[in-house]
Amino acid sequence: MQNESDDVITEVTEAEFHAAVRTSLARLGLTYAELEDQARRRDFASAQAHSLWVSIGGAVRPELLPEQAAAVAQKATVPKVIGLDVSLTCTGVAGEGWTDTIRPRTGVRGHPRLAWIIERVTEHITGADLVVIEGPSFGGGVAHRHEDLAGLRVMVRHACWRRSIPYAVVPPSCRALYATGKGSGPKGAVRDAVRTRYGVDCDGPGRYDQADAYTLLAMGLHHLGWPLAVIPDTNRRGLDGCQWPTTEGLAA
């Protein structure tokens, strides 16, 4: 089975493809027959169901997707993963099926801004099984902003540590690679990929931050064995360059 991305053809084995489809169906609480019926009626139960039907492209062999009640019950065991694209001005936040932003009031700076952001972050990560945080981008910019942003990232990681929540750190290039197939993929391409692959629209202020956060969430679930969609081999390489939690539950 072939997936084509940026003129590079990658191979996904039939077993891997059907395993991903089974996982996606279990997450939606559907059997393949039920999804097929929704497609026939053109009446999908959710945007995620429609996105799954589009992504599998008629390549499913039903005999490899046995009707298992256990697969539906397995939906309850899906881990809670939160993606965070940390920023001083607009932090993107994502959980499965939703996105949000954390935007301090204009003019708030220094310690009050950091404290306010951390309070909002804490509300989102409570009860999470894994938090996936975008790592630093070593580009240009104002020095004091780099210092404050680095401090904010450490505070977010510390907030996870205090609550015994495992966290991962994902370089921006790995996030772009997972979403677009290119480590240099632009923000707009990441947003388009989130809409096409997962059926999640990221609009308005902070739309790129939301899309980045949703990609981080998807990477975390994929790492834990719960991929949200069938991902080409090229894109999957984005998982390899990340700092995933160690046996102690924290990223290195």
Q: What is the pLDDT of residues 151-207, one digit of tens each?
A: 999 999 999 999 999 999 999 999 999 999 999 999 999 999 999 999 999 999 899
With 0-12 CB in 10 A as exposed, 13-18 as middle and 19+ as buried, what is 41?
exposed
- At 162, list the tokens: 């205090």
Quick: pLDDT tens for 51-100: 888 887 667 766 666 544 444 444 447 899 999 999 999 999 999 999 99
pLDDT, greater one: 58 or 224: 224
Query: What is the tens place of the pLDDT at every residue in 106-141?
Result: 889 999 999 999 999 999 999 999 999 999 986 655
Q: What is the DSSP string of 4-37?
A: EETTEEEE--HHHHHHHHHHHHHHHT--HHHHHH
Is pLDDT larger for residue 224 or for residue 70?
224
* pLDDT at residue 2, rounded to an integer: 46
- Tokens read off for 130: 């894994």
- Residue 10 — very low, low, confident or very high, per pLDDT cuts 50/70/90? very low
Domains in the chain (CATH in brackets) are 9-76 (no CATH), 79-239 (3.30.420.10)
